[in-house]
Structure 1
């Protein structure tokens, strides 16, 4: 059962952790490349702020973004701001998200996200946790997938394997965490099954498009290529 209140606590902790790490930078560090192709650290921080705004919009019944072009333009425009402005934006928008989530609401209602995707309102705090935690890793500032909380890693693997289930471009795939975190099935139902095994952080890195999977072991075929998230 999803505990959105506990997830909100985790979101706040993850946000504080990211802000504390970034507070040690200077303006030059913000302009350095992140681990996301074509994005600086400033792009990542601007995206995090705008994502908080977008989730507030969704919770209040509005479209997350006016359109894709506006979303991209807002991130690009915000990417070159000084460090103090970036951090203030991330902090203030995070607080606004928390404040809206603290309002009385029906957490079982369905929320419309981007591109026709819908989800239960109760899952939005976890979605925000994913944004903050994975993008902290993307900043390339010493925080790695192995540093993520075990609960987070397991739940995000749950989410991603569910997302790829039934996708005809992914072969039937059994995913096994060698550290005992669990096992999952994903992909289509047609064709020979491929087994992919490794530590939970390595599996998450592959599923989330953060690692190429070189440290993973496969049986029954090559490592499946996954659709872009």
Structure 2
């Protein structure tokens, strides 16, 4: 399968809101699979075990996703009130907060993640159509409309559900989301038709490859990390 820019259906705002709900449910299911290792074998998915992201445990990952909900909530607040509110105080503070989150008890992390997801959803529900058109600035210092926030969150919860390393794969994601994700990443990576020549495979594999995750396609050139 080859993904061509402009040939996939354009995602809508309602799509992104729906994908947040679906991705959050998938990630929550993954978190609910975590627990202490079997003391007799050391097996089992553990909160403090390694995620699929280099250098991060699952606690780092869950803390990052929880903090992301709070950070995107800052952008929603900016759109609602007109008072500038950046996602993070600084890149250094963001990284320090993730490291601190990795030291928290599992129950506290899970509660923070669930609370943040609920509060972000409630905050988005409050915005008017006019407020969604307000401009905000992302952590990458890119100016975007607030209406892009739901898509930003949908990507986070779906892709990091895979990164949790509990058996969730890109094949567990909705096809319409995978098409939008593949198109979005290809655009951001500025991949040409020549770059994609010979890259064929099922949609989940193509999306995983574009996202720099394990994909199982032997002939696809390796890409750097994304998200």
Normalising by structure 1, report the TM-score: 0.79
Which residue of 68, 77, 81 corresponds with 1:60? 77
- Number of the residue aligned with 2:52: 35
User: 1:10, CA displacement in angstroms?
Assistant: 2.5
Tell me the secondary structure at the aligned position of residue 127 of structure 2. Answer: coil
1:120 aligns with 2:137: no
C-alpha RMSD of matched pairs (Å): 2.2
TM-score by length of 2: 0.80
5+ residue gaps, structure 2: 1-9, 38-45, 79-84
Which of the residues 166, 189, 209 maps onto 1:164? 189
Given the alignment of the two structures, is residue 142 of structure 1 paired with residue 145 of structure 2, yes or no?
Answer: no
Contact 2:213 2:225 in 1 (8 A): no
Aligned 8 A contact 1:2 1:122 in 2: no
2 CA distance for matches of 1:173 and 1:54? 37
Q: Distance in 2 between matches of 1:6 and 1:207?
A: 21
Instruction: Kindly indicate which of the two structures has a greater share of residues assigned to strand.
Output: 1
Structure 2 distance, partners of 1:162, 1:92, is 33
Q: Distance in 2 between matches of 1:173 and 1:63?
A: 38
1:128-186 Cα shifts (integer Å, max 9, x gaps): 01100110100111111111111111000010011122xxxx665364xxxxxxxxxxx
For 1:13-32, list aligned pairs within 5 A: 13-27=22-36, 29-32=46-49
TM superposition shift of 1:6: 4.1
**Structure 1, gaps ≥5 residues long:** 176-193
Cα distance in 1 for residues equivalent to 2:170 and 2:225: 20
- After the TM superposition, which of the residue ranges 110-119 and 142-151 deviates more from structure 2? 110-119
What does residue 173 of structure 1 align with?
194
Q: Per chain length, whose mean CA-contact separation is higher, i.e. which structure has more relative contact order (CA < 8 Å, sep 6+)?
A: 2
- Which stretch of the first structure deviates more once superposed, 87-96 or 74-83? 74-83
Is 1:199 the counterpart of 2:202? The answer is: yes
CA distance in 2, matches of 1:143, 1:214: 15
Q: Secondary structure at the match of 1:111?
A: strand
2:12 equivalent in structure 1: 3
Kindly indicate whether the alpha-carbon contact (under 8 Å) linking 1:198 and 1:217 is maintained by their aligned counterparts in 2.
no
Superposed CA deviations along residues 186-205 of structure 1, whole A, max 9, x for unmatched, are: xxxxxxxx442222111111
Question: Whose helix fraction is larger, Structure 1's or Structure 2's?
Answer: 2
- Please list the CA deviations of residues 61-103 of structure 1 after superposition, one character each: whole Å capped at 9, or x if unmatched: 2111000110011111011222211111010001111011011
Q: Report what 1:189 is aligned to.
A: none
